[in-house]
Chain A
Amino acid sequence: MASNAEQHHSGGHGHGQHAGMWVFPVREEITGDVAGKTFAMPSPYKLAMGIAAILTIVGVVGFFIRASSDGFGSPGPWGYYAGIFSFVFMVTGAAPLVAVAFRFTKSHWRRPLSRVSELFAMVGIVNIVLFIPLLLAMPPIKNPDVQGSDLEVRRTLWFEVPIGAPYTWDILCFVGLAFCSVFILWLSATPDMAQARATATGFRRSLYGALAGWWFGTKRQWNHQKAGLALLGAFYFMLLIFVQFIFITEFAMSMVPFWKDSVLPPMYTVMSFQTALSMILIVLFIMRRWGGYENYIGKAPFWSASKILLGLTLLWTYHLFAFFITYWYGRLEVEQNILKYLFTQPYLVVFLGNMLFSFFIPFALLIWNPLRRSDWGPPLAGLVALVGSLLFNLRTFAAAFNTGNHFEFALSHVPAAVWPDIWDICIILGGMGIVALVYLLSAKLFPPMSIWEVKEGTLYQKMDTLVKGEYLVLAKPE
């Protein structure tokens, strides 16, 4: 195990192709330095918050005009709202899981990205509010006006429609998810808030006192924190998969007559992992390049995460192909109509864009070793994957919400594409704006670097020499 004295150096370490791969922050300075950065409000940060606030206002205006002009009586006008909500939920819902997963695997490189991912829990609270209009716009399960061969009860995953279905159970899903992720954030950030309470002033001092005044870093407290994070992390994973399954089934599959597909929920989940990791890498890159965190974030997190990102990109494509080939071989007219509707006819351009940005470009970027080892390559691939994911969600939900008769037995024709109008575009921009705004605000409330984990890393990592080379030595206490 490295002694403290040996850790008193910072900056990039590694040689040759691994230059700058690992960094070793000075342990004694971490708390004060990160707290100082958290409390500071530089002009670029203010500018980013201003832009995010303007986008949020644009979205709110778009939402109210959409609501006042179209109401919630029919799902059609809310297709793009559902699309951007799904995009936001896909990215921000899975983001806290990144910290959870790599903490489980005890990866040392995950330390700088833990809090970056956990901070997305705050967006989870916004997700609950954003989800409510979708419940209002969702067509009822029971057909209020049965005509011809229409179904009396829409095909949903609620079967005999238990008490509270679908609204109560749907909203409970999102509340439970947000509750769990916020507690993960609280539990993880408590030691850091406790350490920063001495230097915090004003509102932050009161907040840290209220949330972390009880923390002194005893063995018992560390043990409870570790066990609590493990348990809540496991439950978050189990609940997230379930909520994603509920959401994509309820608001996409059940809306398109005869769309019965077991591959779509796992495909949605895989894409959420891909996009959440992408988003985290982008935030990490911004923090490293412009946020003053270059002494905390080496290239190692990008390098390690890039391989996982490549795997997820391939896995998403596999699922897409599995979905496509099942319907393509099915050859029933109703199945062909679904295929034409979602892939090859009205939304073909969006689908091709989705494929290009979700698979072809990220794959082409991530197969190159030098690019994977850079700090900009994986975030660039991630940014492209995010665009692909946005196209996927807009295509899927705009199509699902605009099939016309949701009580049809099967899709008897291929509906025309519905393209976004100006208010849809406002809503899309607003969806992205509100995420950025909430995240930027959260990063000023809670330290965006997991101080205790970075410090823990200094106990277990050091550079040492073997013959003439300098290499990273890692300790694995468990």
Chain B
Amino acid sequence: MARRPILGVFDSANSAADAGDGLRRAGIPEGDVDFLTDTPYPEGAFGEREEPHRLYIFPFLGALLGLTSGILLTSMTQVAYPIVTGGKPILSIPPMAVVCYEGTMLGAILFTVLGIVFESRLPKLKAGLYDNRITDGYIGVLVNTEETQHSEVEAAFGQAGAVDIKRE
């Protein structure tokens, strides 16, 4: 059976939270439920699960790559063109710091952006189920589940006082 989205639209955050409780009672897995809002609500405001993310890994990798490139580039230049400057060793850290730092920063920024794009699964070519009233403060409860469960979802939405229920 195909999984299809169903969207309940609520005019208050309390009703949306009640719908979340109703869906849990109906046995809808938490991973199938999403709350659509026009502004970030604090963690757990709807009694929803915590959403972990892996975004921090990307800048770390980028920084590591950038730093490695910077070290390689500067040290190889110094070894290839050995000019003693100010009586300092050919391979010394302070002159390498500028390029290494810049490489680290650029790598971290680039990979953070790539991370955001990847984690957000962009580009998204197909528009999802949405209701424009959400931009005016309504709360959307989006459930992506088996069609056989849609009646239970609708019941939970109805009990919580959904002002509208939409299907794809």
Contacts and interface: CB of A to CB of B under 8 A. Distances in A.
B77 A160 contact: yes
Given A176-B105, A221-B120, 16 more contacts: A4-B12, A160-B81, A160-B83, A160-B85, A162-B74, A173-B102, A216-B36, A216-B128, A218-B34, A218-B142, A227-B53, A232-B113, A235-B59, A239-B105, A452-B38, A459-B41
A218 B130 CA distance: 11
A389 B94 CA distance: 31
Interface stretch (A179-187, A282-290, A347-355): A179-187
B38 A191 contact: yes
A160 B95 contact: yes
B135 A456 contact: no
B106 interface: yes
Nearest to B124: A214
Given A224-B116, A477-B42, A235 B35 contact: no
Given A27-B137, A235-B105, A452-B39, A162 B73 contact: yes
Interface centre among B99, B105, B119, B134 (most CB of A within 10 A): B105
5 contacts: A159-B85, A217-B134, A223-B51, A228-B116, A452-B39
Interface string B43-62: 10000100101011001000
Contacts of B95: 158-160, 162
A222 interface: yes
Contact of B37 (A198, A217, A453): A217
A194 B37 CA distance: 12
Contacts of B87: none
Contacts of B83: 160
A216 B53 CA distance: 18
Given A217-B36, A220-B34, A226-B40, A169 B55 contact: no
Interface string A44-66: 00000000000000000000000
B135 A198 contact: yes
Nearest to B55: A227
Given A28-B137, A163-B77, A219-B48, A172 B106 contact: yes
A231 B98 contact: no
A220 B116 contact: no
B149 interface: no
B132 A242 contact: no
Interface string A446-478: 000000110110010000000000000000011
Nearest to B116: A228
Closest A-B pairs by Cβ, 4 of them? A159-B95, A477-B42, A455-B39, A195-B135
B137 A183 contact: no
A198 B132 CA distance: 7
A146 interface: no
A266 interface: no
A158 B97 CA distance: 10
Contact of B136 (A28, A221, A226, A228): A28
Interface residues of A, number: 55
A246 interface: yes
Given A28-B136, A165-B99, A242-B101, A187 B39 contact: no
Interface in A219-251: 219-228, 231-232, 235-236, 238-239, 242, 246
B27 interface: no
B120 A224 contact: yes
A213 interface: yes
B1 interface: no
B17 to A, nearest CB: 13
A224 B55 contact: yes
A223 B50 CA distance: 10
A452 B41 CA distance: 11
B38 A455 contact: yes
Contacts of B115: 228
Contacts of B78: 160, 162
B82 to A, nearest CB: 9
Contacts of B122: 214
A201 B135 CA distance: 17
A231 B119 contact: no
A221 B73 CA distance: 38
Interface in A132-173: 157-160, 162-165, 169, 172-173
B105 A224 contact: no
A241 to B, nearest CB: 10
Contacts of A222: 37, 40
B10 to A, nearest CB: 12
A306 interface: no
A403 interface: no
Nearest to B105: A239
Nearest to A457: B39
A254 interface: no
Given A191-B38, A213-B124, A235-B59, A163 B102 contact: no
B65 to A, nearest CB: 14
Contacts of A162: 73-74, 77-78, 95-96, 99
